[in-house]
A = this chain, B = another copy of it.
């Protein structure tokens, strides 16, 4: 027995680390030095404005993938779109916060079952810190599973999971729960390499050959917004490195609804989202992608070629 126990971890390590030895380009069948990018719109479901603009940016623009906030009021609208458009690359933006001032939502799970996720008003907490102070990994696992189940109940087959405000990513026990749900439903989960520093963990020891670790994140800061997004994104695309980059954006129309949702919060606000929409729907983005030989890929490709192979 002792021998078996000693061998087991070695065997596991061999299996688990195998997949990570091949590059993502090789695993997906691209040239070795290919620059891959997923141009990803977050926050679908949060409002009608976000849904409408993101659908337009996917259908007519350069956005290749997007993820949906299941607990939000406009989830049924985007879920109906997903069901009617099974080719659209739509995953779930696992949502553990309700961050806006006057417009709120609670968890999908019965509140009694996830008390640590719920504030005194019955909503999800506004801040990631409050979630970390109150919610157990077990509660995060339960809520994440129920968000996937609800999406399936609405006829979706999510292409991936990622994490709203990074909440499910940036604490190790949450990350394990979120990865566990991905494995349970055979859905790829967004795990960026940068977490290794933040969490002081070797990601390769946590994942299997069915997982993909995203090499780089490209995402605008408030300073980039002030300096102009066109500049920032075109330069960002030009500087993409070989490997897989997750280009995270938020596309919505700067209208009354979106201004009310994001009131008192110009960062990631309505004007910000309109600028994201403008750039990623316009010709400058397409030109930059072409000129720099960027391969724009989807999570569905990862799901079907790797996770569900």
Residues of A within 8 A of B (CB): 47-49, 52, 73-77, 80, 101-105, 108, 110-112, 120-122, 150, 153-154, 253, 255-257, 260-261
Contacts and interface: CB of A to CB of B under 8 A. Distances in A.
26 contacts: A47-B257, A48-B103, A48-B256, A48-B260, A49-B257, A52-B260, A73-B103, A73-B104, A73-B105, A74-B102, A74-B260, A75-B104, A76-B101, A76-B104, A77-B102, A77-B103, A80-B102, A110-B112, A120-B153, A121-B150, A122-B150, A253-B256, A255-B255, A255-B256, A255-B257, A257-B257
A102 B76 CA distance: 5
Nearest to A113: B112
Nearest to A263: B77
Nearest to A76: B102
Contacts of A253: 256
Nearest to A75: B104
A150 B123 CA distance: 12
Most buried by B among A48, A77, A108, A255: A48
Number of copies: 2
Closest A-B pairs by Cβ, 9 of them: A77-B102, A257-B257, A48-B260, A73-B73, A76-B102, A76-B104, A48-B257, A110-B111, A110-B112
**Which of A104, A108, A255, A257 has the most chain B CB atoms inside 10 A of its CB?**
A257
A112 B112 CA distance: 9
Given A48-B260, A74-B102, A153 B111 contact: no
B122 A103 contact: no
A76 B80 CA distance: 27
B105 A52 contact: no
Interface centre among A101, A112, A154, A256 (most CB of B within 10 A): A256
Contacts of A102: 74, 76-77, 80
Contacts of A73: 73, 103-105
Given A48-B103, A108-B122, 5 more contacts: A73-B103, A73-B104, A77-B260, A110-B112, A255-B257
Contacts of A52: 256, 260
Contacts of A153: 120-121
A80 B101 CA distance: 10
A127 B261 CA distance: 28
A103 B76 contact: yes
Nearest to A47: B257
A243 B52 CA distance: 48
B103 A74 contact: yes
Contacts of A260: 48, 52, 74, 77
A27 to B, nearest CB: 37
A142 B105 CA distance: 21
A261 B48 CA distance: 8
A48 B260 CA distance: 7
A257 B111 CA distance: 29
A105 B75 CA distance: 10
